[in-house]
Structures are given as structure tokens and as C-alpha cells.
């Protein structure tokens, strides 16, 4: 099936599902707000398929995510706000603006200059949406994953010069924040103070990741998966010895952990 035909079939399917008279009762009841949790869930399922390097699962999950986009576009079209074509046209025009070296006659000396131009174009786009009195942090959604939002806040502040000159400068700050955690715990400070200091450590580490070009949210997600896979291997190794996790000593689990690392 041709691409345009497949997309049109999907759009028509969505219209049928939302038909006021013959549509699905569940689909007709939905709003942007009610389907948002499903949309977020689909994004994480896409990430999971990529982590597992499962092409078939990725195809399926991308289809589910596309369906969410089509669903929201249909709701908007019913309200006379915009439709799927407006979404596609808008992102096409945006990418053309942001790639003048591809779609125009602009040339850049190197990749650094290209990235600077990209950020400049994005800033111009924001200026057309915001008033001159708008906050520096305008349009950074509060609903972003926490680590991702942290890096965006730091990146936005860096654009006005509020930043470290080198990633090594962050290391003493992280050590300072760790010392404040220890101090708060040892002095019996209220939990809120301990929580705040731990947050400062995470914020500093996130800053380090940003300066190293690492996406903190993605890095932690990969580490979570690595930990999970290692611990599952620990459980399997212990089971081979007739030992359950509940029965195992810390030393036995540590030994199995080191053995599990060798399999990697």
C-alpha cells in the first residue's frame, strides 16, 4: 500500500471511530486530556523496543504512537482548530527552516556553526510566540520527565551566559552538594532538608551530563535496564546453586553480581 493511501486509511478509520452516530462509544468519549496518559505510555514503549533492539516491536509501537497523534488531530479537527495535515505541514516547514544548509543556499563552516544556527533559529521561533517579557524558561513543559526538564532549564540558562566553562568545574560542586547531604543526615536535619540536598546532588550530576553531551534521562534509563538485567542474572545464578534471593547473603549476592558482570 502506498504511503499516502495508508495514511488516508488510518485517518478515515479514526473518523469512523469518532463518528457521532456510528462510532465507538469509548473513542467518542475521549478528549486530549483522557488519552494523554496513553500517549505518554506509548512513548515509553517505543523506548523499550529500541532498548531491546527489537525492530518488529518498534514498528508496532511506532504505529501505536502514530495512532495517538491521529487521535488528537481528529479531536482538534472536530473543534475546528487544526487537523493532521496541518501537523504534517507545520513540522515540514519547521524542519526546512532549521536546515537552511539543506533546503536553502546557506553554508556553515563546521558542525559547531550549524548547531549554533539551529539554536538561533529556534530562539527566533520562540520570539514569535512569546512577548518580550516572557520568562527565559517559557515553553519548557512542567510535564517533562524530571531529568530532561532539569537539563532543559540548565541549557536555557546557559544561553544567557549562566554556565560552567568546562565540565571539570562541576565536579567540586557535586562533591560540595554530597558533603551537604552527609551533614544534613548526620545532624538529624528534617527530611525535607535531606531531600533538598539530595536534589541538589542530582541537579549537579545532571549538569555534568549536559556538559558532556549526555542526555541524563536516557543515561539513567539505560542504567536502570543494565541493573535490572544484571540482577535477573544474579537471581538465575543463585537459583542454579539452589539459593533463593531471600536466602542469599549479601556476600553471595555480591559474588553473583560480579559473575553476572562478566557475562556482559
pLDDT, one tens digit per residue, over 153-180 is: 999 999 889 999 999 999 999 999 999 9
Write phi, then psi, for 205 (nearest 5 degrees).
Answer: -65, -35
Query: Could you tell me which CATH number the domain at 3-98 has?
Result: 1.10.287.1080
Query: Could you tell me which CATH number the domain at 148-214 has?
Result: 1.10.287.1080
Q: What is the structure's pLDDT at 211?
A: 96
Quick count: other Cβ atoms within 10 Å of Cβ 217? 19
Question: If pLDDT is split at 50, 70 and 90, which confidence band does 115 have?
Answer: confident
Q: What is the structure's pLDDT at 128?
A: 66
In Å, how far from its chain's centre is CA 244? 36
Residue 58 class from Cβ within 10 Å (0-12 exposed, 13-18 middle, 19+ buried)?
middle
Q: How far apart are CA 51 and CA 217, in angstroms?
A: 14
- Whose cell is 568546562? That residue is 166
Q: What is the mean pLDDT of residues 188-193?
A: 94
Residue 196 class from Cβ within 10 Å (0-12 exposed, 13-18 middle, 19+ buried)?
middle
- Whose cell is 549479601? That residue is 250
CA 98 to each of CA 117, 138, 157: distance values in angstroms, whole numbers, following the listed order: 8, 20, 22
Q: What is the structure's pLDDT at 141?
A: 86
Convert the pLDDT of each residue in 64-98 to its tens digit: 999 999 999 999 999 999 999 999 999 999 999 88
Pure H helices in the chain: 3-17, 25-29, 32-51, 55-78, 84-98, 100-103, 111-129, 146-158, 170-186, 191-211, 216-240, 250-263
Q: Is the pTM of this model over 0.85?
A: no
Amino acid at each position: 500500500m502506498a504511503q499516502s493511501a495508508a495514511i488516508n486509511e488510518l485517518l478515515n478509520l479514526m473518523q469512523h471511530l469518532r463518528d457521532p452516530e456510528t462510532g465507538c462509544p469509548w473513542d467518542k468519549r475521549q478528549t486530549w486530556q483522557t488519552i494523554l496518559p496513553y500517549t505518554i505510555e506509548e512513548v515509553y514503549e517505543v523506548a523499550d523496543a529500541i532498548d531491546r533492539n527489537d525492530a518488529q516491536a518498534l514498528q508496532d509501537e511506532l504505529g501505536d504512537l502514530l495512532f495517538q497523534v491521529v487521535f488528537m488531530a481528529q479531536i482538534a479537527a472536530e473543534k475546528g482548530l487544526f487537523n493532521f495535515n496541518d501537523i504534517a505541514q507545520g513540522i515540514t516547514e519547521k524542519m526546512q527552516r532549521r536546515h537552511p544548509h539543506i533546503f536553502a543556499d546557506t553554508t556553515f563552516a563546521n558542525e559547531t556553526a550549524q548547531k549554533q544556527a539551529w539554536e538561533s533559529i529556534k530562539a527566533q521561533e520562540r520570539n514569535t510566540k512569546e512577548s518580550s517579557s516572557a520568562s527565559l524558561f517559557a515553553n519548557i513543559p512542567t510535564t517533562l520527565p524530571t531529568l530532561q526538564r532539569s537539563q532543559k532549564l540548565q541549557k536555557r540558562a546557559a544561553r544567557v551566559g549562566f554556565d560552567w566553562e568546562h565540565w571539570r568545574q562541576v565536579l567540586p560542586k557535586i562533591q560540595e552538594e554530597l558533603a551537604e547531604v552527609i551533614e544534613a543526615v548526620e545532624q538529624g536535619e528534617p527530611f525535607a532538608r535531606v531531600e533538598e540536598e539530595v536534589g541538589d546532588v542530582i541537579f549537579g550530576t545532571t549538569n555534568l551530563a549536559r556538559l558532556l553531551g549526555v542526555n541524563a534521562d536516557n543515561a539513567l534509563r539505560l542504567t536502570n535496564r543494565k541493573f535490572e538485567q544484571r540482577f535477573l542474572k544474579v537471581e538465575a545464578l543463585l537459583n542454579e546453586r539452589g539459593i533463593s534471593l531471600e536466602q542469599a547473603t549479601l556476600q553471595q549476592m555480591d559474588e553473583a553480581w560480579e559473575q553476572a558482570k562478566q557475562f556482559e
